[in-house]
């Protein structure tokens, strides 16, 4: 296995949680639209992180990480909407929201640092 990469591993673990939450909401409440949106955006985070890690340049890396950051913000929206509409409990919401927030902070830090490095090179 490759060396440990926090954002790669955390985004994959988050995607697994999102898939399980989506399946849970579908089975418990027969709700398919919101849960599918959640699944799309939540799994896209990790896919874009993986793509970024294979970027051909710093600019390519930054662009993909920005997309991952946008996707985590969208995922946060779907999680909050599922909570506010009663599809998930407060405990379920807080649990996955905490993971979402941690990943948001990590992606924000990565994009800011990368942007700074690119600017310094110019």
d(CA 93, CA 57): 37
- Phi-psi domain of 30 (left: phi exceeds 0; alpha: psi -120 through 50; beta: other): left
pLDDT at 36: 97
Residue range 42-95, pLDDT digits in tens: 999 999 999 999 999 999 999 999 999 999 999 999 999 999 999 999 999 999
Specify the pTM: 0.92
d(CA 35, CA 42): 10
Residue 2: pLDDT over 70: no
d(CA 87, CA 79): 10
pLDDT band at residue 3 under the 50/70/90 scheme = confident
């Amino acid at each position: 296995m490759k060396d440990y990469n926090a954002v790669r591993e955390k985004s994959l673990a988050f995607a697994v949680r999102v898939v399980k939450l989506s399946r849970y909401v579908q089975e418990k409440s027969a709700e398919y639209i919101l849960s599918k949106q959640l699944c799309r955006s939540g799994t896209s985070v990790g896919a874009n992180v993986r793509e970024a890690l294979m970027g051909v340049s710093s600019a390519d890396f930054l662009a993909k990480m920005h997309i991952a950051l946008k996707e985590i913000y969208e995922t946060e929206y779907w999680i909050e909407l599922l909570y506010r509409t009663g599809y998930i409990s407060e405990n379920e919401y807080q649990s996955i929201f905490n993971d979402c927030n941690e990943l948001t902070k990590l992606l924000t830090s990565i994009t800011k640092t990368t942007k700074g490095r690119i600017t310094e090179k110019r």
